[in-house]
Structure 1
Amino acid sequence: MNTTMGIRGFLLLWSAQLVSIVGSALTGFVLGVWTYERSGSATQFALIMLSGAIPALLIAPFAGALTDRLHRRRILAAADCVALATVGALALLISSDQLQTWHIYPATALTAMCGTVHQITFSAMIPLLVPKQHLSRANGLSQVVFSAQIAAPIVAGTLLAAVGLRGVVLVDLVTFGVSLLVVLLVPLPRAAVRTASPEPGAPSIWSQVPDGWAELRRRPGLTGLLAVLGGFYFCFGIAGTLVRPLVLSFAGPTGLGFQVFAGGCGLFAGSLVMGVWGGPKKRMRGIALFMAIGGVALAIHSLAPSLALVIAIGPFFLFTLPVITGTAQTLLQTKVDPANLGKVMATSRAISQAASPLAYIVAGPLADGVFEPLMRPGGGLAGSMGQLIGTGPGRGMALMFLLAGVLLVVLGALAARPSLRRVEDLPDLMTESTGEDVREPAVVPAIREGQRK
């Protein structure tokens, strides 16, 4: 592998992806604010989140099959082009004062699907761009996008006041344009973008969608790892859904802003540490340890209705996210057949994304209909759990944080079991010889070569 070209290509693609995801997060936030202010409906606001989450979940397995079958640079470029056209249509609707709430749902769905295709394709390219000894660090840097998404609302509020809705969408338009240019122009090793040409009579892309799950089942322990990750993302989704109403039950919007900022700092710090450190050498034990640490931090949120407590402990919980996800991604990238890597990464993403919308759906009804009534003064658990974490508004959600934290500790214990630790003993199938020291042709020559084929 041409190491210099590969690392430079990774950094440029990573930077472009980061910029476009920040732009999308800014647009998503301000469109949500616009919808809520226009309708006053929390349901319509929630529908925006679901209109992005569900299509992204559905497209993930197909994105993996495409990644393993087609030219990856062209997949990235196509995803950016569709997203660019979608955001451009929103900008035109805003400029002509014709934007309606229903326009936002399909636009959110399209951009979410493009983002999923882009991220799955990029994750499959990382092992072919970065030497194996630096793979964990590269995966750690890839987690920076999560911290950027969490920090986006802080920037978006200021930007919305300065340039308005139209200005924020135009910023998003520029970020997609930058990403597209980088994808088209950055030199990349040929092996990172080209897959093996299908033989005559080869199975269709649609029939290959289940191959990711089949590949995982052939590797002992990997399906168990995904089950543990699904549980982790469910707990993370519960916490992400309820942390804002929990904070608002004992603090005001300003306090919530500080909490969001502190959490984003913890997530960003975890990503940078992973980028420098590369994660634990004993990866499954590292995942188990950091899940347990995250569980303890999540449970501590429940101990008192204190803004200082939540601001102090929240960053520790979010710090664990990039370590766990980056380490798990490295395991998947090195332990499966490179020919099925895109499908495996897509299957992994689909499982995690399925857990998150499930958490979004159940968290609110459980808090409002079950746990908050139980933790009221005189409620069913006021005399027991109420003695530990208090009673009153928000204490039901605090109990849910406590239970989610306990579940994370249990998941950490499961990850440390020998049946999952044997994932470490699987042979590394992603070797240094996977790449080729051949420069991928620039845009026009690549298109011409594709036409000759």
Structure 2
Amino acid sequence: MMEHHLKVKKATYHLYTFMISKLISSFGAQVYTFAISFYILQLTGSATSFATNLICSILPRTLLAPFAGAITDRYSKKAIVISAQIATTITIGGLLVYTFTSGLSLLAIYVTTSILSITSMFSGIAFTSSITSLIDKERIQKAMSLNQMAISFAAIGSPAIGGILYGAVTMPVFLVIYMIASSIAVLLESTMNFKLFAKEKEVVEGAEKESLLKSIKLGIDYLKLHPVILLLLWMALLINFFFGAFEVGYSYILIEKLQMKSQHFGFTQGAFSVGMVLMSIYFSIRKEVKFPFLVSKRGIIGLCFVMAAVAIPLLTSLSYNLIVGYYLVLMLTFGSLIMVINTPIQVMLQKTIDEEYKGRVFSIIETMSMALTPLGMVLYGVLYDLFPGQWILMMSAGLLLCVVLFFARPSEIRKIHPELGGGKETIREEVGAV
């Protein structure tokens, strides 16, 4: 009894250390990303250059994620998390030295972004697959919500601070901020016990010595036994592809086409995060969602309309202040919808996937769902340089809506949640709760 009490106490410590560590490292990463994005768009004025940096942050993690998952399932998750964070600190230090000796170049930015993408992916997969070992089962939804809340808090403050600092300080100052944040995260992560709630099977060493490739294949075979996850994969693959229209277009339209000032652009990105925080708080205190797939479907449909709505100021002649206000409201809504889509699905996956497969499955999900994203980034980067942004956004939003309505049709939802039957009242009650 006493031992259980101590475990729960340590889990509570994990809950908040995890959140603070995420908050600090995310804060540094977001300030860096904000400054670099602005720097590239102001230096080149090209959507293609901006998209290239986005590709550098997505392509390496997409290609290496399955290996990261297999490595995470075989070795110490704590060692992986700490090594990844140290590597992040060293990489930023390298870019800082390069800036002082040779000046900041696009190539140096692309290389740094690629390395940071790999380190954050290793850290993220190791952390995600450790949640059920760090936290007691009853508080998994709370852990997922607090984790998201930390990322969101960082995302609220960092664009606002990034926007104010941009132009007032030099790029090396941004890099030093990121290095300090990353170093503090290393110290916090070193105090966590990654085997607190681990099942005995995970602690046993040397039981299986299969090769890395066989390990990945076993993860894929495990996935095939779960049609729910396969359906989610196909949806995520196409959603992320069409979502490239927003990823590339939003910054390009606001900074390049609407000539928004850096601090106001920062505030709109902050509003996105406020929406995420508000919804995270809601999910951390409400009871667990009964029909996660259905709730996520409604969220994605809402997202399609938000994506199309980004184009409206390009079709009308609104005043500057009205445009800033419009995007603040739009991004607040967008942030809330992202949480409505992600949190229920993440909790469902945490509870469905067996402990010893978590690293591999989450990494395969990441790779598969992001597989078409680099292609989307290249395509949309070129399209925005050639065609009016409003039509690209509206066409993509329409196609995305078709994807969701096809993959998440009522018959598929009933397969995943058979307890729904055909009862519209149950559906209305669940959707009304979110």
Check whether the contact 2:45–2:256 (CA below 8 A) recurs between aligned residues.
Answer: no
Matches within 5 A, 1:269-284: 269-277=278-286, 280-284=289-293
Deviation track 1:230-277 (CA, whole Å, cap 9, x = no partner) reads 333334332222223444687441464554343332233233333333
Aligned twin of 2:237: 230
Change (3 A) 1:43 1:30: same
Aligned with 2:366 (options 341, 349, 352): 349
Q: How many residue pairs get matched?
A: 402
Aligned twin of 1:361: 378
> Aligned partner of 2:30: which letter?
A
Change (3 A) 1:266 1:404: farther
Aligned twin of 1:286: 295
SS of 2:130's equivalent in the other structure is helix
Is 1:25 the counterpart of 2:21? The answer is: no
Aligned with 2:185 (options 152, 168, 179): 179
Identical-residue share of aligned pairs (%): 21
Aligned twin of 1:414: 407
Change (3 A) 1:292 1:110: same
In structure 2, distance between residues paired with 1:237 and 1:341? 27
Change (3 A) 1:278 1:232: farther
Is 1:327 the counterpart of 2:316? The answer is: no
In structure 1, distance between residues paired with 2:374 and 2:287? 30
SS of 2:371's equivalent in the other structure is helix
Check whether the contact 1:224–1:420 (CA below 8 A) recurs between aligned residues.
Answer: no
Aligned twin of 1:206: 213
SS of 1:185's equivalent in the other structure is coil
Gaps of 5+ in 1: 373-393, 427-453
Alpha-carbon distance, 1:354 to partner: 2.4
Change (3 A) 1:283 1:43: closer
Is 1:133 the counterpart of 2:138? The answer is: yes
Alpha-carbon distance, 1:169 to partner: 0.8
Change (3 A) 1:233 1:278: farther
Is 1:93 the counterpart of 2:88? The answer is: no
In structure 1, distance between residues paired with 2:367 and 2:181? 26
- Tell me which moved more, 125-134 or 332-341: 125-134
> Aligned partner of 1:363: which letter?
Y
SS of 1:203's equivalent in the other structure is coil
In structure 2, distance between residues paired with 1:329 and 1:157? 32
Change (3 A) 1:199 1:293: same
In structure 1, distance between residues paired with 2:246 and 2:33? 20
Change (3 A) 1:107 1:312: closer
- Tell me which moved more, 139-148 or 285-294: 139-148
Change (3 A) 1:302 1:49: closer
Check whether the contact 2:234–2:369 (CA below 8 A) recurs between aligned residues.
Answer: no
Is 1:59 the counterpart of 2:64? The answer is: yes
Deviation track 1:386-422 (CA, whole Å, cap 9, x = no partner) reads xxxxxxxx44235335425633xx5156325343443
In structure 2, distance between residues paired with 1:347 and 1:85? 28
Is 1:159 the counterpart of 2:165? The answer is: yes
Is 1:295 the counterpart of 2:304? The answer is: yes
In structure 1, distance between residues paired with 2:87 and 2:354? 30
SS of 1:210's equivalent in the other structure is helix
Aligned twin of 2:425: none
Check whether the contact 2:22–2:147 (CA below 8 A) recurs between aligned residues.
Answer: no
Is 1:124 the counterpart of 2:129? The answer is: yes
Deviation track 1:67-106 (CA, whole Å, cap 9, x = no partner) reads 1111111111111121121112222233445554433332
Alpha-carbon distance, 1:192 to partner: 4.4
Deviation track 1:99-153 (CA, whole Å, cap 9, x = no partner) reads 5443333222111101001011111111222233322232223333267447633
Change (3 A) 1:233 1:20: same
- Tell me which moved more, 225-234 or 62-71: 225-234
> Aligned partner of 1:228: which letter?
M
